[in-house]
Amino acid sequence: GAKKKAACPGLGLFYTILSAFLFSVASLFLKKIEDVHSVEVSAFRCVFQMAFVLPGLIYYKTGFLGPKGKRIFLFFRGFLGSTAMVLLYYAYQVMPLADATVITFTSPVFTSLLAWIFLKEKYSLWDVLFTLFAVTGVILIARPPFLFGSHVAGIEGSYSDHLKGTIAAIASTLSAASTIVILRKVGKSVHYFLSIWYYAVIGLIGCVIALFVLNEWRLPHCGRDRVFLILIGLLGLGGQIFLTKALQIEKAGPVSIMRTMDVVFAFILQVLFLNHIPTWWTVGGALCVVASSSGTAIRKWRHSVKKAKQREI
């Protein structure tokens, strides 16, 4: 039969841009929250995820634990994914929004490296080059004093907080990359909703334990902060939904490239609503990271297209 034509050409890329915008606005609201720990914000986000996923699990009859042979992978997917979220939220709170966002976009590069180590996927000289570009971008954003001197411009608060935020953002990126590798290992044998369920449940348990250990659990005093918490949960959920829909109707390569709009939105929102002008070091680091992640995405995309043509032959 004749192939179905797309209902709306470019709809997948539009969903990707919309997803990037929702994630960026959620990050902006996180910066605006004044008296809530990043772990508590993550706990609220997990509650929203659970409320969304639970009806799906019941409808698709997936169960709550998943296949026996896959549970250990699902556990680490949930643990690493929720850890990435907590660390990223901490980075957003203690360093400029654009800086933290840029560092997270080194994830495709680290994913390729980890996939080479654990899944024996191909790792070429191009991948090495993209990794060096990503590391250069992170160095330009972190601006360590032994390279840039003791007076570092364009940071929020003290350099100590900036450095902690940078380390948290890098650790978040590595955790997110590890999560993607685990999801590749699991493949399509586990339903998408079940994967999010583990992420939300393990994340919520971990956040609650951490909050009691840190003695940081408190309801926000200001009504505005409570509204921001709800909006962060809704916007994060909306961003995930639109990103998932984009990947369902569009190839992963163009979606990965278009996701770099996150960086553009982060720069715009930081200037407009946080009155923080990025330095040229941050812009240079962003260009290095975007070039690195885009190059990695394009190579993966071309490789998948080439394999698809070989199968047709």
The interaxial angle of helices 71-94 and 11-32, nearest 10 deg, is: 60
SS3 content of the chain, % helix, strand, coil (to 5): 80, 0, 20
The first and second tokens of residue 190, run together, are: 């586990």
Q: What is the tens place of the pLDDT at every residue in 188-205?
A: 677 778 888 888 899 999
The first and second tokens of residue 227, run together, are: 């509204």
Residue reference for tokens 């654009």: 98
Is residue 262 a contact partner of residue 24, using CB atoms and an 8 Å limit?
yes
Terminal-residue alpha carbon distance, the chain: 20
**DSSP state string for 238-256:** HHHHHHHHHHHHS-HHHHH
What residues in the chain have per-residue pLDDT under 70? 1-9, 146-147, 149-154, 156, 188, 220-222, 247-248, 252-253, 312-313
Is residue 134 a contact partner of residue 106, using CB atoms and an 8 Å limit?
yes
In the prediction, which pLDDT does 201 show? Answer: 92
What distance in Å separates the CA atoms of residue 278 and residue 141, rounded to the nearest whole number? 10
Q: What is the tens place of the pLDDT at every residue in 228-275?
A: 888 988 898 888 888 877 866 777 667 777 888 888 899 999 989 888
What distance in Å separates the CA atoms of residue 212 and residue 5, rounded to the nearest whole number? 54
In the prediction, which pLDDT does 4 show? Answer: 44
Residue ranges covered by each domain of the chain: 11-310
The first and second tokens of residue 170, run together, are: 């890098």
In the prediction, which pLDDT does 170 show? Answer: 93
In the prediction, which pLDDT does 162 show? Answer: 86
181 in helix, strand or coil? helix
- pTM score, whole prediction: 0.82
* 201 membership: H or E segment, kind and range: helix 192-214
291 in helix, strand or coil? helix
In the prediction, which pLDDT does 253 show? Answer: 64
61 in helix, strand or coil? coil
Query: Cβ of 50: how many Cβ atoms within 10 Å?
Result: 17
The interaxial angle of helices 97-104 and 261-274, nearest 10 deg, is: 170
Q: Letter for the amino acid at 94?
A: V
What distance in Å separates the CA atoms of residue 63 and residue 129, rounded to the nearest whole number? 43
Q: In 3D, which of 109, 98, 159, 130 has the Cα closest to residue 281?
A: 98
In the prediction, which pLDDT does 300 show? Answer: 75
Burial class (CB in 10 A: 0-12, 13-18, 19+), 221: exposed
What distance in Å separates the CA atoms of residue 74 and residue 181, rounded to the nearest whole number? 12
